[in-house]
């Protein structure tokens, strides 16, 4: 049996340019189904990467937020209520949380990368030094005047979001007294990560000077809370691609090949919360919404780049169809809808190749490999379909330009909309010019 080669023969209805254009438009929409499945696969790989980061964090230390030191002073107060006509007095206990008058924080962070399978996770070991001062006026202002102060149960508290990452036992120098920290917080904030040191007092101190250093393991990000009425913070690391985050950006910073240094100055008015609280949970809630820090950003987030490329996928496939359609009209070749479907599936598989290769060789090289493979397969198919090597070469050049434009759109995030709009405008203009003499109702693929 002879196998037909050359241009495909299609029924007369399908050879009408107008009908063929509508079929291609429908086929472009249908290509959204396999593209959606690739998008699902992308989300699954992102979840796997997140699980890998959580796995590393569970053994080393997760994203860390450090807030402290704070002075916590329990107190008792009496309330009256009427029950069955009798006045009943009830004694309850709470705790005053007093923040530093001045706070200086210094973080020196050594970073490295751990792997879980093929997934990299940035981790660090940080030395965080804290110097805090509290004056008598600040302490007195944070204490209730109509309660009995339990000075003997006073504590110094530091919040640590993941205490599992503490690399060494922690001590604090409080007015010359060396105190050892114990795990956990008071019963009112038992579900909050942190450590405490008992600091029994006889009365309100004239002043309080605190100094401590935390050796802390963590991963992906490190945040500090500006608890002082005046807070000075400095962070230094060898990580070359920091992403500064939180409620406050650095006052000044220096980022280079050797890493980065950053400094923050946060005044009381900008901080956004009071100098004292009537309970530890209220203090925790307030300080968690106001922090400063850095994410140890991986500059080529391949999943984000693949996700961005998928946003343009239907448009990209449609433009590939448009290139073949115009070539068909101008050359008289008759392509069957099945042939268009195969061409579209080739462009769809580009995204699957891009995702699978990017996890191993990085996004840029994966893009080159996936684009070259798809382009080679499509060009060989076109040379057979059109039975003309020169036409296939022109198609290859147009598709290569299309892949190049997509890459430009992906790397130029700030100008993606502008570049995309210009490409669409030029594509429509070129189509209008190339098909200006086409008789769309004719059964012939060529112009009359």
Q: Give tens-digit pLDDT for 19-66.
A: 777 888 898 899 989 999 999 999 888 888 888 877 887 788 889 999
* 364-368, Cβ contacts within 8 angstroms, sequence gap of 24 or more: 364/300, 366/302, 367/407
Assigned token pair, 354: 């891009």
Task: Output b/e per residue, 197-227; b: 16+ Cβ within 10 A.
Answer: bebebeeebeebebebbbebbbbbbbbbbbb
Task: Output b/e per residue, 80-112; b: 16+ Cβ within 10 A.
Answer: eeeeeeeeeeeeeeebbbbbbbbbbbbbebebe
Assigned token pair, 57: 């964090």
233, containing H or E segment: strand 230-237
Crossing angle (nearest 10°) for helices 302-311 and 363-385: 40
353, containing H or E segment: helix 337-361
What's the helix, strand, coil split of the chain in %, to 5? 45, 30, 25
Pairwise CA distance, residues 373 & 368, whole Å: 8
* E strand segments, 51-151: 64-83, 86-98, 102-116, 119-135, 148-149
Cβ proximity of 95 and 119 under 8 Å: no
Cβ proximity of 186 and 93 under 8 Å: no
- Give the number of residues written for the chain: 448
Tally Cβ neighbours within 10 Å of residue 163: 18
Cβ proximity of 219 and 60 under 8 Å: yes
Phi and psi, residue 115, nearest 5°: -120, 140
| Residue 430 vs residues 278, 313, 343, 427: alpha-carbon distances, Å | 70, 21, 21, 5
Assigned token pair, 117: 């399978």
Pairwise CA distance, residues 41 & 28, whole Å: 21
pLDDT per residue of the chain (448 residues) written in tens, 0 to 9: 444 444 444 444 456 777 777 888 898 899 989 999 999 999 888 888 888 877 887 788 889 999 989 999 999 888 777 777 777 778 888 889 999 999 999 999 999 888 887 788 889 999 999 999 999 888 888 888 888 899 999 999 999 999 999 999 999 999 999 999 999 887 777 788 899 999 999 888 888 999 999 999 999 899 999 999 999 999 999 998 898 988 899 999 999 989 999 999 999 888 888 899 988 888 888 887 788 999 986 655 788 889 888 988 888 888 888 888 888 877 767 778 888 889 999 999 999 999 999 888 888 899 999 999 999 999 888 888 887 788 888 888 888 988 988 888 887 766 767 777 787 788 778 777 777 776 666 644 444 3
Closest CA to 34 of 354, 348, 335: 348
Cβ proximity of 287 and 193 under 8 Å: no
Phi and psi, residue 52, nearest 5°: -65, -40
- Cα dihedral sign for 338, 342, 344, 345? positive
Tally Cβ neighbours within 10 Å of residue 395: 24
Q: What is the pTM of this model?
A: 0.73
* E strand segments, 286-340: 292-296
How many helices (H) and strands (E) in the chain?
A: 11, 18
Helix (H, G, I), strand (E, B) or coil at 337: helix
Closest CA to 388 of 330, 446, 338: 330
Pairwise CA distance, residues 229 & 133, whole Å: 10
Cβ proximity of 403 and 421 under 8 Å: no
Closest CA to 109 of 118, 96, 122, 119: 122
Angle at 46 between CA 419 and CA 304, to 5 degrees: 15
- Cα dihedral sign for 366, 372, 376, 378? positive
What pLDDT does residue 401 have? Answer: 87
What pLDDT does residue 263 have? Answer: 96
List residues bridging with 315 in a β-sheet: none
């Amino acid at each position: 049996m002879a196998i037909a080669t050359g241009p495909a023969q299609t029924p007369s209805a399908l050879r009408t340019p107008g009908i063929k254009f509508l079929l291609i438009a429908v086929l472009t929409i249908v290509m959204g189904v396999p593209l959606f499945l690739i998008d699902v696969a992308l989300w699954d790989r992102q979840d796997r990467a997140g699980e890998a980061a959580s796995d590393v964090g569970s053994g080393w230390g997760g994203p860390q937020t450090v807030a402290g030191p704070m002075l916590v002073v329990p107190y008792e107060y009496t309330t009256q209520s009427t029950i069955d006509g009798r006045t009943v007095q009830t004694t309850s206990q709470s705790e005053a949380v007093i923040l530093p008058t001045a706070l200086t924080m210094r973080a020196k962070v050594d970073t490295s990368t751990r792997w879980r399978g093929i997934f990299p996770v940035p981790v660090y070991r940080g030395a965080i030094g804290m110097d805090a001062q509290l004056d008598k006026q600040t302490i007195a202002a944070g204490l209730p005047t109509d309660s009995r102060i339990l000075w003997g149960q006073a504590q110094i508290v530091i919040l640590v979001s993941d205490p599992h990452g503490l690399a060494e036992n922690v001590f604090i120098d409080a007015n010359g007294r060396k105190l050892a920290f114990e795990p956990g917080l008071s019963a009112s904030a038992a579900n909050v990560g942190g450590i405490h040191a008992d600091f029994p007092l006889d009365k309100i101190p004239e002043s309080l000077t605190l100094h401590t250093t935390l050796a802390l393991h963590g991963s992906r990000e490190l945040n500090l809370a500006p608890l002082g009425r005046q807070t000075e913070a400095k962070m230094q690391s060898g990580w070359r691609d920091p992403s500064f985050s939180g409620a406050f950006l650095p006052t000044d910073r220096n980022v280079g090949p050797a890493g980065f240094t950053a400094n923050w100055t946060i005044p009381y008015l900008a901080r956004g919360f009071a100098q004292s609280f009537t309970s530890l949970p209220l203090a925790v809630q307030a300080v968690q919404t106001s922090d400063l820090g850095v994410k140890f950003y991986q500059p080529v987030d391949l999943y984000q780049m693949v996700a961005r490329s998928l946003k343009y996928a239907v448009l990209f496939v449609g433009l590939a169809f448009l290139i073949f359609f115009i070539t068909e009209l101008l050359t008289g070749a008759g392509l069957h809808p099945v042939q268009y479907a195969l061409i579209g599936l080739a462009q769809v598989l580009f995204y699957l190749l891009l995702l699978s290769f990017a996890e191993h060789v990085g996004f840029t090289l994966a893009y080159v490999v996936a684009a070259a493979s798809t382009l080679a397969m499509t060009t060989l198919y076109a040379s057979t379909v059109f039975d003309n090597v020169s036409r296939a070469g022109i198609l290859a050049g147009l598709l290569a330009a299309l892949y190049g434009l997509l890459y430009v759109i992906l790397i130029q995030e700030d100008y993606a909309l502008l570049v995309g709009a210009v490409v669409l405008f030029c594509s429509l203009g070129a189509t209008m010019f190339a098909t200006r003499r086409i008789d769309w109702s004719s059964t012939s693929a060529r112009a009359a």
